[in-house]
Chain A
C-alpha cells in the first residue's frame, strides 16, 4: 500500500459536505402524498386504456408511457438499431444468490435443468424456452436503468391484465427499438412488460404470442 491510500483516508475528515437534510420529515410527507398519487396513476391508466381502444388516439397519446422501470415512446420514424441475438449483451453470468442480492427473490416459471442468469446494470436476465428462445428480464426496485422502447406506427401497444388490471403492456406487430443504457439499441420482437410486487418484468421472443406470454407471466407472478 502506497501513501496514497492513507492520505485519501485522512482527507475524509476534512471534506466539506452539504448538511444532511431532515430525511425523516420528508419521508412522512411522501407517504401522505402516496394515496393521491396512486389515485392519479389509476385514473391515468383508465384514460390510456380508453384511448388505446380508439385507433386515431393511439399515436397522439402513446408518445410517452411508463410502466415500472420501462418507458415507451411512440415515434413516426424509428431510430437506427441493429438486429441482434436475444442472448447478446445480457451482461456477466451471476449466481442466483448474487441475483437475489440485487433483486430480492428471483422469480422464474417452472423450468427443467439449470437456469443461467446474467446481470447488466442491475437488470437480471435469463433465456427461457417456451418452446422458442424467450428472454426474461427482471428489474428491481429503484433499478438504475430505465429501459426504453421506441415503437413506430405499425407496432401496437395494448394494456393487458397479468394479475391486476392494467399491470401489463403487450407490444406486438412490427419490430420496435429496445434501448438499455449500457448497450447499443437493438430491434426487438413481441414483448410483454408487466409489474409485480415492485419488480418490472420483460418477456421477449421472436415467435412469442400474447397467450403464451401471459401464461408465462402468470406463472412467474404468483
Chain B
C-alpha cells in the first residue's frame, strides 16, 4: 500500500479527524479547476488566487461537516466559488477569455492548409468574442459547462443555483450566443 494514493473517502475521513496533510492531498487534484472557476468569477488572476486561498481555508474549517459518500468536487468548487463571489463584489470586473498564441496550439494529425488554419482561427476568435460579450450569468454558465467541462450538478454548485436553473440558463445562453454568432 505504501506509495499508493489514498482513496478520496479515506482522505476525507483523515481530514475530518484533523489531518492537514490529508486535506492538502485531497484538494490537490482540484486546484486548477478551482482556480479557473475563481478566475471566471472574479475577473482577475490575483483576485482568483486570493479567492481560492479563502475558499480552501473555509473548506478546511468546514470539512467536518462534509457528508461522507457525497462527491467532494462539487462541494469544494462551491466553497471556492462562494469565496470568489465575495471577492468579486469589490472588484467588479470580468475575465476576458483569450485564445492561446498560434504557435502553442496543436496542429492535429494532418497538417491543414494555411488558409484553413486562418479560417478556423478566425471562427474560434469570433465565437470567443461572442461568448465574452454575453451577459455575465449567460457567459458563466456556458463557460462552466463547455469550457471547464463541469457537469450540470457541478455547475449548479459552482454558481450557487439550482440544477433546474442551470438547465434553463444554459438553454437561454446558447440561444443568445447562437443569435450573436450564427
Contacts and interface: CB of A to CB of B under 8 A. Distances in A.
Contacts of A5: 146, 174
Given A4-B177, A100-B67, A21 B49 contact: yes
Given A26-B53, A92-B162, A144-B160, A7 B127 contact: yes
Given A2-B178, A4-B182, A7-B127, A146 B162 contact: no
A35 interface: no
Contacts of A101: 70, 75, 157
Interface string B41-68: 0000100110011111111111011110
Contacts of A30: 53, 57
B149 A12 contact: yes
A198 B64 CA distance: 10
Interface string A1-43: 0101101111111111110110110111011001000000000
B119 interface: no
A105 interface: yes
B178 A142 contact: no
A84 B182 CA distance: 46
B100 A15 contact: yes
Nearest to B181: A4
Contact of B65 (A31, A92, A94, A104): A104
Contact size class for B? 35 or more
Contacts of B131: 8, 11
Nearest to B153: A101
Interface stretch (B6-14, B24-32, B110-118): B24-32
B53 A12 contact: no
A110 B97 CA distance: 50
Interface in A109-136: 119, 121-122
Nearest to B31: A23
A36 B57 CA distance: 15
B98 A16 contact: yes
B169 interface: no
Contacts of B59: 141-142
B167 interface: no
Given A7-B127, A104-B67, A142-B86, A12 B148 contact: yes
A144 B86 contact: yes
Given A2-B178, A27-B57, A142 B98 contact: no
23 contacts: A5-B146, A8-B147, A11-B99, A11-B127, A11-B146, A12-B148, A14-B100, A14-B105, A16-B97, A16-B100, A17-B36, A18-B39, A24-B28, A28-B24, A100-B67, A141-B59, A141-B79, A142-B62, A144-B160, A197-B65, A198-B61, A198-B62, A198-B65
